[in-house]
Amino acid sequence: MTHAQDPNDALFDHARALIPGGVNSPVRAFRAVGGTPAFITRGQGAYLWDADGRRLIDYVGSWGPMILGHGHPAVLEAVHRAVDQGMSFGAPTERESELAEEIVRHMPAIEMLRLVSSGTEAGMSAIRLARGATGRSKIVKFNGCYHGHADALLVKAGSGLATFGHATSAGVPEVVVQDTLVLEYNDVAQLEEAFALHGAQIACVIMEPIAGNMNFVRASIPFMRAARELCTKHGALLIIDEVMTGFRVALGGAQSLYAKEIAGFAPDLTMLGKVVGGGMPLAAFGGRREVMEQLAPLGPVYQAGTLSGNPVATACGLATLREVAQPDFHARLAERTRALIAGLARAAADEGVALCGDSEGGMMGYFLLPELPGNYTEVLQSDGARFNRLFHGLLERGVYTAPALYEAGFVSSAHSAGDIEETVAAARAVFRQLASA
């Protein structure tokens, strides 16, 4: 007896003949977990449907933007209205200012901003601006933090603290990354030593307040305080990458949470993406007025983009931000996300599987470890093979999570208590299998 080919397999075969790896962003290829990726045909609310007709509870959320779930009526209405008015103009529109005003209203550290089309573009532009504003070349980033695929950021640490980065991608000349210092996340002593050695040459420190590309790892309060104080002392700019956390973990972003714990805390520049576009290609970078005014056409730092501020993307983002700004939105979202993490932890403990997790707002992560890691080195202690079995076990039971150990997960306002219960029940069955293997 023969079985018909899974439509996902057929679609993947077709894609691989035309697109490198069959995907337009590497993690989608399932190389980390093995198997064939699910080709999605539609999404609604908290669910996706793949080419085989499977309904999946979605905890990827397009890697963060879909905080309202898929197909939210207010967002769809705004997008349809914008499309009817025109797809792209390459000229200013009032909606660009309206979106900027909405962002500035909730993030006091942003006095001016510029819209771009991707988080990568926001990151490369923010770094160029920091270098232009300070007249310095060196930048500090942290191992395990991802700020897009700009050449200067595709680096890893050298053998010692003061060793500059080495390219981790072919096509990136060593000369491009020689001014990039890579330090360990949450290591205050390393950061202090880096500034002691290179403080007068450092243009900026770029960091995720909650790292989402080593799963979910928070910056500690002492670490964030040290970053702010050292940048101020040495005249460097602090860039907070909120592409993932902005409007996702709190209305004022993760920076608003640190501002409650650190007196006077504010970044000099902020990167935004994902939620601010509501699922459309849109991102932003912004900060203090005197820094932002260094951008052309006012200043000497050049940055431009044909589709920046696209009218359909700004309509989508503006409608999304107005929904998440509703009273108690994030409190309800955080409660649902905490319920998921708590349920997974209970189920794992009941079945004798080591698991720990954390969440903030609608962003979450879990590790097959007894304790939460604080940096990338500790994250690497996770059992990758066991994680892969967990991923596929959940997928077989209709739960779609990130197909890689090092990616955070996302809950939307569309996820119901029933969705959480169904997810925990599926995980419990997989944990039972893991424990007996």
Q: Model confidence over 393-436: pLDDT tens digits?
A: 999 999 999 999 999 999 999 999 999 999 999 999 999 999 99
Q: Are residues 56 and 95 in the same domain?
A: no
Question: What is the pLDDT at residue 165?
Answer: 53
Q: Are residues 249 and 174 in the same domain?
A: yes
Identify the three-state secondary structure at position 17: coil
Domain containing 258 equals 73-324
Q: Are residues 63 and 121 in the same domain?
A: no
> Could you give the number of structural domains in the chain?
2
**Of the candidate ranges 137-146, 163-172, 220-229, 327-336, the one whose mean pLDDT is the lowest:** 163-172
Q: Are residues 282 and 333 in the same domain?
A: no
Residue among 274, 358, 376, 406 flagged as catalytic: 274
Mean pLDDT of 369-394: 94
Q: Are residues 41 and 171 in the same domain?
A: no
DSSP label at 295? B
The last residue of a domain, from among 303, 324, 345: 324
The structure tokens listed for 271 are 């990167």
The HSE-up count of residue 254 (CA atoms within 13 Å, CB side) is: 28
Cα four-point dihedral sign 417, 418, 421, 423: negative
CATH of the domain at 402: 3.90.1150.10
Residue among 179, 187, 241, 268 flagged as catalytic: 241
Whether the pLDDT of residue 385 is over 90: the answer is: yes
Q: Are residues 202 and 251 in the same domain?
A: yes
CATH of the domain at 285: 3.40.640.10
Q: Are residues 416 and 432 in the same domain?
A: yes
Unique residue bearing structure tokens 């990338």: 376
Whether the pLDDT of residue 160 is over 50: the answer is: no
Residue 314 lies in a domain: yes
Residue 156 lies in a domain: yes
Residue 196 lies in a domain: yes
Residue 2 lies in a domain: no
Residue among 146, 185, 376, 400 flagged as catalytic: 146
Q: Are residues 109 and 63 in the same domain?
A: no
Q: Are residues 51 and 82 in the same domain?
A: no
Percentage with pLDDT > 90 across the chain: 90
Identify the three-state secondary structure at position 80: helix
Residue 208 lies in a domain: yes
Which amino acid belongs to residue 419? D
Q: Are residues 254 and 371 in the same domain?
A: no
146 noted as active-site residue = yes
**Strand bridging mode 217-218 / 40-44:** unpaired
302 noted as active-site residue = no
Residue 1 lies in a domain: no
The last residue of a domain, from among 290, 324, 358: 324
274 noted as active-site residue = yes
Question: What is the pLDDT at residue 189?
Answer: 97
Residue 379 lies in a domain: yes
Confidence grade of residue 2 (pLDDT, cut at 50, 70, 90): very low
Give yes or no for a contact between 204 and 140, defined as CB atoms under 8 angstroms apart: yes
Mean pLDDT of 38-65: 98
Q: How far is the first Cα of the chain from the last one, in angstroms, to the nearest whole number?
A: 30
Whether the pLDDT of residue 163 is over 60: the answer is: no
CA distance 193 to 187: 10
The last residue of a domain, from among 256, 289, 324: 324
In tens, the pLDDT along 77-130 reads 999 999 999 999 999 999 999 999 999 999 999 999 999 999 999 999 999 999
Q: Are residues 253 and 391 in the same domain?
A: no
How many residues are recorded in the chain? 437
Percentage with pLDDT > 70 across the chain: 96
Residue 259 lies in a domain: yes
Q: Are residues 285 and 362 in the same domain?
A: no
Question: What is the pLDDT at residue 161?
Answer: 36
Identify the three-state secondary structure at position 369: coil
